[in-house]
């Protein structure tokens, strides 16, 4: 009889991991491999899908071995970087080209042309999304138009997001996608469980190349016995931000979380009714179980942790991520310095694909510490812009649960509470994205009857309260708004 161990595949933007959880939510092991980032031109970002598969398989095999064999694993849960598109051959599973990553902006002109035709309102009404290169549909259309390998594949062409590709490889041919990832393609209406013909035609995508839409928990496929020495059931799947929301136990309407990874993504549980945003936020599927959907309102910031990575690797202002906290604490203020981190455009609520990053307020009195502090402060400012938009859409935050790699920075966590003027809660266990996938797999495999029952897998929270005056907060926000306005004008 299988034990309660759950194998989670957490396939992110910069790395892929396999993690082994117990039914109690305890982490028993983790194996991680870095992914190569390809930048063929400015604003273009690609991954090698073959590398993703090879490294995912390698990580999984090490965790299966640690577990004591395939028979010791009850189920697999998958969570993934959303909106990244893979094209592969159905006969072999081999990718036909590089994957186009969610950060990629090459379809900005396509989106602009559709917007000029007045089609954004139809797209938003159907899908809850705005016309932006961020989403998968325009990427798929660009691939088909520009890479002849896809057209040459004919009926053997398969298109999908990362979890769809991994499930295909793991099972040896099951072509499915979970409802959360499907809701990010711009090809599926929020009130349907299949692709929309007019949207497919709009982006030039053949229906036969796309996967079948499934629940996020249940029987999603079984791995080929040859991969791990025996079959393992795949019982959970969700996009990374939805998985993190589940892993933060945001299971009631109004519950809100923010994940600070490569980008920053904030989701508020909206219950069983898809929200309608009037302030350029996104409506998305939070999870689907037993064909029943729970929705969320989402705001997406494109640059968060990647800003610190840029400061470390490209600008060389810091040597390691933790140094940013030391530098921020070494000065009393930002010294008038502001960074608008539009290194890949501005996301919600501005949605300006061609915006360029800017550092303003520099003088001879400015030092490295001021610039690094300004970079960390930008996290809170971007979140404040979103908080204002969420409140205008009737979803005001009472508190914010946070996770992701950046929340190890205690200075940044306190700054969030100060600028947002609400309690900010941080879990003891940061890896809430993987935990959410484990919870889905636990429900899908019958360990727990519901996500509410599975929430016993979640550990405790620590809380940070606002500490600065309203006058200090307002002065800082005025400087931020001026800096953003300058970027938006160009």
Spatial distance between the Cα atoms of 486 and 203, rounded to a whole number of angstroms: 33
pLDDT in tens, 138-176: 999 999 999 999 999 999 999 999 999 999 999 999 999
Q: How many residues in total does the chain contain? A: 490
Would you call 84 helix, strand, or coil by DSSP? coil
Spatial distance between the Cα atoms of 149 and 51, rounded to a whole number of angstroms: 19
pLDDT in tens, 290-324: 989 999 999 988 899 989 999 999 999 999 888 99
The mean pLDDT of 268-277, rounded to a whole number, is 92
Spatial distance between the Cα atoms of 317 and 314, rounded to a whole number of angstroms: 8
Q: Could you tell me the pLDDT band of residue 1, with boundaries at 50, 70 and 90?
A: very low
Hey, how many other C-beta atoms are within 10 angstroms of the C-beta on 71? 16
Hey, how many other C-beta atoms are within 10 angstroms of the C-beta on 450? 13
**Token code pair at residue 332:** 């009393």
pLDDT in tens, 212-252: 999 999 999 999 999 999 999 999 999 999 999 999 999 99
Distances in Å between the Cα of 65 and the Cα atoms of 6, 51, 69 are 13, 21, 5
Would you call 216 helix, strand, or coil by DSSP? coil
Q: Residue 64 pLDDT > 80, yes or no?
A: yes
What is the residue-wise DSSP string for 297-351? EEEEES-SHHHHHHHHHTS-S-SSTTHHHHHHHTSSS-TT-EEE--BTBB-TTT-
pLDDT in tens, 178-201: 999 999 999 999 998 999 999 999
Spatial distance between the Cα atoms of 42 and 39, rounded to a whole number of angstroms: 7
pTM for the whole structure? 0.87
The mean pLDDT of 468-487, rounded to a whole number, is 95
Token pair 């089609």 is at which residue? Answer: 119
Q: Could you tell me the pLDDT band of residue 346, with boundaries at 50, 70 and 90?
A: confident
User: Domain spanning 5-240 has what CATH number?
Assistant: 3.30.420.40
pLDDT in tens, 381-439: 999 999 999 999 988 899 999 988 889 999 999 999 999 999 999 998 888 999 999 99
Q: Contact at 8 Å (CB) between 433 and 409?
A: no
Q: Residue 336 pLDDT > 90, yes or no?
A: yes
Q: Which residue has the higher pLDDT, 366 or 460?
A: 366
Would you call 401 helix, strand, or coil by DSSP? strand
Q: For helices 470-489 and 410-420, what crossing angle results, to 10°?
A: 90
The domain spans of the chain are 5-240, 249-427+460-490
Instruction: Look at residue 43 in the predicted model and tell me its pLDDT.
Output: 85
353 Cβ contact list (under 8 Å, min separation 6): 105, 108, 111, 132, 133, 345
Instruction: Look at residue 2 in the predicted model and tell me its pLDDT.
Output: 40
- What rounded mean pLDDT belongs to the chain? 93
The mean pLDDT of 272-281, rounded to a whole number, is 89
Instruction: Look at residue 3 in the predicted model and tell me its pLDDT.
Output: 52
pLDDT in tens, 7-54: 999 999 889 999 999 999 999 999 999 999 999 998 899 999 999 999
Spatial distance between the Cα atoms of 358 and 435, rounded to a whole number of angstroms: 36
Distances in Å between the Cα of 321 and the Cα atoms of 15, 107, 314, 430, 432 are 16, 32, 13, 16, 20
**Token code pair at residue 126:** 């159907």
Instruction: Look at residue 426 in the predicted model and tell me its pLDDT.
Output: 92
The mean pLDDT of 54-66, rounded to a whole number, is 97
User: Which one is the CATH code of 249-427+460-490: 3.30.950.10, 3.60.20.10, 3.30.420.40, 3.40.50.20?
Assistant: 3.30.420.40
Same CATH fold, 249-427+460-490 and 5-240? yes
Q: Could you tell me the pLDDT band of residue 348, with boundaries at 50, 70 and 90?
A: confident
- High-pLDDT (> 90) share of the chain, %: 83
Instruction: Look at residue 18 in the predicted model and tell me its pLDDT.
Output: 97
92 Cβ contact list (under 8 Å, min separation 6): none
């Amino acid at each position: 009889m299988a034990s309660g161990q759950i194998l989670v595949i957490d396939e992110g933007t910069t790395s892929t991991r396999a993690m082994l959880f117990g039914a109690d939510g305890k982490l028993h092991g983790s194996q991680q491999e870095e992914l190569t980032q390809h930048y063929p031109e400015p604003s273009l970002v690609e991954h090698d899908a073959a590398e993703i598969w090879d490294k995912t398989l390698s990580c999984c095999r090490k965790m299966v071995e640690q577990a004591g064999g395939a028979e010791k694993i009850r189920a697999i849960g998958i969570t993934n970087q959303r909106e990244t598109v893979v094209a592969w051959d159905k006969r072999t599973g081999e990718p036909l080209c590089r994957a186009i990553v969610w950060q990629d902006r090459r379809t900005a002109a396509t989106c602009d042309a559709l917007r000029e035709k007045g089609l954004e309102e139809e797209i938003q009404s159907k899908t809850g999304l705005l016309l932006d290169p961020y989403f998968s549909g325009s990427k798929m259309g660009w691939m088909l138009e520009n890479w002849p390998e896809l057209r040459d594949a004919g009926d053997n062409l398969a298109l999908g997001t990362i979890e769809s590709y991994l499930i295909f490889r793991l099972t040896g041919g099951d072509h499915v996608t979970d409802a959360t990832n499907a809701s990010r393609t711009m090809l599926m209406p929020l009130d349907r469980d299949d692709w929309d013909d007019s949207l497919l035609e709009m982006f030039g995508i053949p229906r036969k190349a796309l996967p079948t839409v499934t629940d996020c928990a249940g029987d999603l496929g079984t791995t080929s016995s040859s991969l791990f020495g025996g079959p393992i059931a795949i019982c959970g799947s969700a996009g990374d931000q939805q998985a993190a929301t589940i892993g933060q136990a945001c299971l009631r309407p109004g519950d809100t979380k923010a994940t600070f990874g490569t980008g920053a993504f904030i989701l508020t549980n909206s219950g069983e009714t898809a929200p309608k945003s009037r302030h350029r936020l996104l409506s998305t599927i939070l999870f689907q179980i037993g064909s029943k959907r729970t929705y969320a309102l989402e705001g997406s910031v494109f640059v968060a942790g990647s800003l610190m990575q840029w400061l470390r690797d490209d600008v060389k202002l810091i040597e390691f991520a933790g140094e940013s906290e030391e530098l921020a604490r070494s000065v009393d203020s930002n010294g008038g310095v502001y960074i608008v981190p539009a290194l890949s455009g501005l996301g919600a609520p501005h949605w300006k694909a061609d915006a360029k990053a800017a550092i303003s307020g520099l003088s001879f009195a400015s030092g490295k510490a001021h610039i690094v502090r300004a970079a960390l402060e930008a996290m809170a400012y971007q979140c404040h812009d979103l908080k204002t938009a969420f409140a205008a859409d009737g979803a005001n935050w009472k508190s914010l649960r946070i996770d992701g790699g950046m929340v190890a920075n205690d200075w940044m966590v306190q700054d969030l509470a100060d600028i947002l003027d609400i309690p900010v809660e941080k879990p003891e266990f940061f890896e809430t994205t993987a935990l959410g996938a484990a919870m889905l797999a636990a429900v899908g495999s019958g360990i727990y009857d519901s996500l509410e029952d599975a929430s016993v897998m979640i550990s405790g929270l620590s809380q940070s309260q606002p500490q600065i005056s309203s006058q200090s907060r307002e002065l800082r926000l005025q400087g931020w708004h001026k800096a953003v306005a300058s970027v938006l004008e160009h």
